[in-house]
């Protein structure tokens, strides 16, 4: 029994060490993604690209590090990091006019990609409001159409919560779309869009 216990302890010690390292990496990923999105809203695409490149390397490192430990790879903190990465990357590609990459291309599980896509809609809402404040109704209309297209795609998914908890993202996306359409119509009817913006 002592040999068995020693082996179990060695396995758990390794997992504990990997878990601690994975937590540090996921925190870095989330921080870099937040910095990337902030840079994009400040029209600093070069800084955003730099943050994304660092994030990409960390995402790849995390996947390689936990390849033999799926119980750690599919934990909540890793899922959250993947979701944040997808949101930041898709937002960057949208603003740069680039094609959206697939989950396989960026090394992220499909479920987290889908949830990150849902979060992208919220980020586009923020960008839409920025365009209204600037009085750029043409760009605002383009973003509004993009939000609707993404919502239409997201609404196609109906799976159990245990598989992918997409229902909450769908409900939130519908709410965002409705408010965005209302704000665009109100702004289009006016010469001063700022008057019609609700406080966020």
Is the pLDDT confidence value at 199 over 50? Answer: no
Which of 78, 103, 128 is the last residue before a domain boundary? 103
Which of 67, 85, 103 is the last residue before a domain boundary? 103
Number of domains, the chain: 2
Output the domain CATH number for residue 180: 1.20.58.2140
Both tokens of 25, joined, read 């990496």
Is the pLDDT confidence value at 73 over 90? Answer: yes
Global pTM value: 0.89
Both 200 and 120 in one domain: the answer is yes
Both 86 and 115 in one domain: the answer is no
Both 127 and 70 in one domain: the answer is no
- Alpha helices, H only, 42-101: 45-65, 70-73, 76-96
Quickly tell me which residue has 């365009």 as its tokens.
131
Which of 53, 88, 103 is the last residue before a domain boundary? 103
6-32 mean pLDDT:
92
Cβ–Cβ < 8 Å for 118, 166: yes
Domain range spanning residue 67?
1-103
The whole-number pLDDT of residue 149 equals 96
Is the pLDDT confidence value at 35 over 50? Answer: yes
Both 89 and 1 in one domain: the answer is yes
Long-range contacts of the stretch 16-21 (C-beta < 8 A, 24+): 18/65, 18/66, 18/69, 18/72, 19/72, 21/65
Higher per-residue confidence, 76 vs 198: 76
């Amino acid at each position: 029994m002592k040999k068995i216990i020693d082996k179990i302890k060695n396995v758990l010690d390794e997992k504990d060490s990997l878990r601690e390292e994975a937590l540090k990496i996921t925190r870095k990923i989330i921080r870099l993604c937040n910095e990337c999105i902030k840079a994009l809203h400040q029209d600093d695409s070069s800084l955003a690209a730099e943050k994304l490149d660092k994030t990409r390397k960390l995402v790849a490192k995390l996947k390689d590090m936990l390849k033999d430990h799926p119980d750690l790879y599919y934990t909540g903190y890793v899922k959250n990091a993947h979701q944040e990465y997808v949101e930041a990357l898709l937002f960057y590609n949208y603003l740069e006019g680039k094609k959206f990459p697939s989950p396989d291309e960026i090394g992220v599980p499909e479920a987290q990609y889908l949830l990150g896509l849902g979060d992208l809609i919220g980020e586009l809402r923020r960008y839409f409001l920025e365009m209204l404040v600037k009085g750029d109704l043409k760009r605002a209309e383009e973003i509004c159409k993009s939000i609707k297209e993404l919502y239409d795609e997201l609404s196609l998914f109906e799976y159990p919560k245990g598989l992918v908890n997409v229902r909450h993202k769908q409900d939130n996306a519908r709410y965002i779309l409705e408010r965005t359409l209302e704000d665009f119509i109100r702004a289009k009817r006016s010469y001063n869009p700022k008057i019609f913006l609700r406080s966020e």
